[in-house]
C-alpha cells in the first residue's frame, strides 16, 4: 500500500484553515495521511511543535518553508511564471529544511528583513482599512496589535485582516443577518454579498477580494524590500539545509497555463538551468489527467515531485489529497508523491548528520542518486512505522 502524503501544509504560524497544529495533525490521523510537510510563508517557528506533534501521533514530519521571490529578467520580459497576475514574481518552497532550524549570516538577517517587510505591508493595509471604515461611517477600528496577539502566531497576512474585519462586523451586528449584510454591502459600495453569512471562508474571501486585493481601497503594494531575488532565495534555502523547490501553478479551470509553464519539456529544461531539482503541485488546482501528464513528465526527467494542499485560506478541505473537483489521485500520482517524500525524508536525515543531502551545499544535485535517496527515505519512514506499530 502506498502511504498517503501531503507535503505542503500551512499552519497558523503564517495563515491557515486549521485552528492550530494539533488540529491539522489530528485531521491527518483521521484521514489516514501518514507523511506531512509544514510549509509556512517566511517562517519556521512551527517546526518544533510540528515535530513533537507528529512524533506523538506516529506521523512522519517533513520541514518546508515558502517565499515569494522576484526574477527581474522575467519581470522585464513580461513573463508570467507561477503568479498569473504578476510577471516575474515567483513562489518558491524549500523542502527538507534543517531541523532544528539553523541559518547562518547573512541569510538569517535577510530572512528577518523579508518577514518584517511583509508585516509592515499588512500594517499599512490595516491603517488604510481603518481610514475607509471611518469614511463609510462604520464604527469599527481594527487594532493591528490585537490582531497579532489574538489571530496570529507572529506573522501578519492580509487574510488576518479579512478575518478580523469579519469578526468585528459580526460582533458589532450581534450576528444579525440583515445588519451584517447591510454593513458589508456598504463597505463593498453597494455590491451584494454573495456568500451565506455562515460561510465564513466565503465571506472572508469576499472581504479580501473587494477591499484588500489589488484595486481594493485598502490595498498596499508590496515594497521592493518584500521580495528577495529568486537566486538569493535559492541560496538561502540551500544554506538552511533545504532543497529549492518550484511550485507549479499548472492548469487553470480552462486548461490554460502561464507563459513559463506552458510546455512540460521546455519548463523542465528551464528549471534545471535555473538550479531546480525539485517541484511540487497543489493538486486541488488541477485536472487529474493534466496533473498526471505534467507530474509524470517531470518525474521521468529526474525531478523530485511532491504534492500538497496548502490550506492557507479559511476554507477547510480534506488533508488527503485530490485533484480538482475532489477527483481522487491516481495510483501513479500517489506513487510519485510518496517517492518524492522519501527523497526529502532522506535528505533531512543525511543533512542532520552534517553531510551533503540530495542537494549539496553548493546547490547542485546528482539526479542519478535519486533512487538511492528514495530507498533510504522509504526505509526511514517505514522503520519509523515498524517501531511504533
Query: Which 3-state string (H, E, C) describes 337-380?
Result: HHHHHHHHHHHHHHHHCCCCCCECCCCCECHHHHHHHHHHHHHH
Q: Do residues 223 and 68 make contact, with C-beta atoms less than 8 angstroms apart?
A: no
CATH no. of 4-102+240-388: 3.20.20.140
| pLDDT of the residue at 51 | 97
- Pick out the chain residues at pLDDT < 70: 384-389
| pLDDT of the residue at 317 | 96
| pLDDT of the residue at 389 | 43
How far apart CA 84 and CA 349 sit, in angstroms, is 36
Q: Where in the chain is the domain with CATH 3.20.20.140?
A: 4-102+240-388
Q: Residue 88 — φ and ψ, nearest 5°?
A: 85, -25
Q: Do residues 282 and 313 make contact, with C-beta atoms less than 8 angstroms apart?
A: no
| pLDDT of the residue at 387 | 46
| pLDDT of the residue at 97 | 98
Cα angle 376, 378, 383 (rounded to 5 degrees) comes to 95
Total count of residues recorded for the chain: 389
Task: Choose among 386, 306, 331: nearest CA to 94.
Answer: 306
Q: Do residues 99 and 47 make contact, with C-beta atoms less than 8 angstroms apart?
A: yes
Give the pLDDT confidence of 19-31 residue by residue, as tens digits.
999 999 999 999 9
Most distant CA pair in the chain, distance: 64
For residue 241, give the C-alpha cell: 539545509
For residue 306, give the C-alpha cell: 511532491
Spell out the alpha helix ranges (H) of 136-258.
144-151, 158-172, 177-187, 200-207, 230-239
Task: Choose among 7, 1, 2: nearest CA to 348.
Answer: 7
Give the pLDDT confidence of 127-139 residue by residue, as tens digits.
999 999 999 999 9
Amino acid at each position: 500500500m502506498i502511504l498517503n502524503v501531503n507535503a505542503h501544509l500551512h499552519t497558523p504560524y503564517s495563515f491557515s484553515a486549521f485552528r492550530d497544529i494539533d488540529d491539522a495533525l489530528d485531521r491527518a490521523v483521521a484521514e489516514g495521511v501518514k507523511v506531512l510537510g509544514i510549509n509556512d510563508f517566511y517562517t519556521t517557528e512551527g517546526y518544533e511543535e510540528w515535530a513533537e506533534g507528529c512524533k506523538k501521533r506516529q506521523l512522519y514530519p517533513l520541514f518546508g518553508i515558502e517565499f515569494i521571490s522576484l526574477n527581474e529578467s522575467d519581470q522585464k520580459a513580461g513573463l508570467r511564471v507561477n503568479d498569473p497576475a504578476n510577471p516575474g514574481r515567483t513562489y518558491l518552497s524549500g523542502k527538507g529544511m534543517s531541523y532544528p532550524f539553523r541559518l547562518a549570516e547573512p541569510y538569517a538577517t535577510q530572512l528577518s528583513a523579508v518577514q518584517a517587510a511583509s508585516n509592515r505591508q499588512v500594517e499599512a493595509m490595516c491603517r488604510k482599512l481603518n481610514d475607509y471604515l471611518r469614511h463609510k461611517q462604520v464604527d469599527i477600528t481594527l487594532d493591528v496589535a490585537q490582531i497579532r496577539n489574538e489571530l496570529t502566531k507572529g506573522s501578519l497576512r492580509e487574510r488576518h485582516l479579512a478575518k478580523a474585519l469579519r469578526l468585528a462586523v459580526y460582533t458589532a451586528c450581534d450576528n444579525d443577518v440583515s445588519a451584517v449584510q447591510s454593513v458589508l454591502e456598504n463597505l463593498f459600495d453597494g455590491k451584494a454579498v454573495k456568500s451565506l453569512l455562515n460561510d465564513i471562508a466565503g465571506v472572508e474571501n469576499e472581504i479580501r477580494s473587494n477591499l484588500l486585493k489589488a484595486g481594493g481601497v485598502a490595498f498596499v503594494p508590496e515594497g521592493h524590500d518584500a521580495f528577495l531575488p529568486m537566486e538569493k532565495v535559492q541560496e538561502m534555502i540551500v544554506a538552511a539545509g533545504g532543497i529549492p523547490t518550484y511550485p507549479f501553478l499548472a492548469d487553470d479551470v480552462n486548461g490554460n497555463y502561464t507563459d513559463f509553464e506552458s510546455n512540460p519539456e521546455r519548463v523542465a529544461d528551464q528549471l534545471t538551468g535555473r538550479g531546480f531539482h525539485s517541484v511540487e503541485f497543489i493538486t486541488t488546482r488541477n485536472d487529474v489527467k493534466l496533473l498526471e501528464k505534467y507530474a509524470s513528465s517531470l518525474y521521468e526527467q529526474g525531478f523530485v515531485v511532491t504534492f500538497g494542499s496548502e490550506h492557507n485560506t479559511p476554507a477547510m478541505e480534506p488533508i488527503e489529497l485530490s485533484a480538482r473537483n475532489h477527483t481522487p489521485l491516481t495510483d501513479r500520482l500517489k506513487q510519485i508523491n510518496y517517492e518524492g517524500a522519501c527523497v526529502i525524508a532522506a535528505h533531512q536525515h543525511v543533512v542532520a548528520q552534517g553531510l551533503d543531502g540530495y542537494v549539496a551545499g553548493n546547490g547542485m544535485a546528482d539526479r542519478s542518486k535519486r533512487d538511492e535517496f528514495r530507498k533510504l527515505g522509504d526505509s526511514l519512514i517505514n522503520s519509523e512505522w515498524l517501531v511504533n506499530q
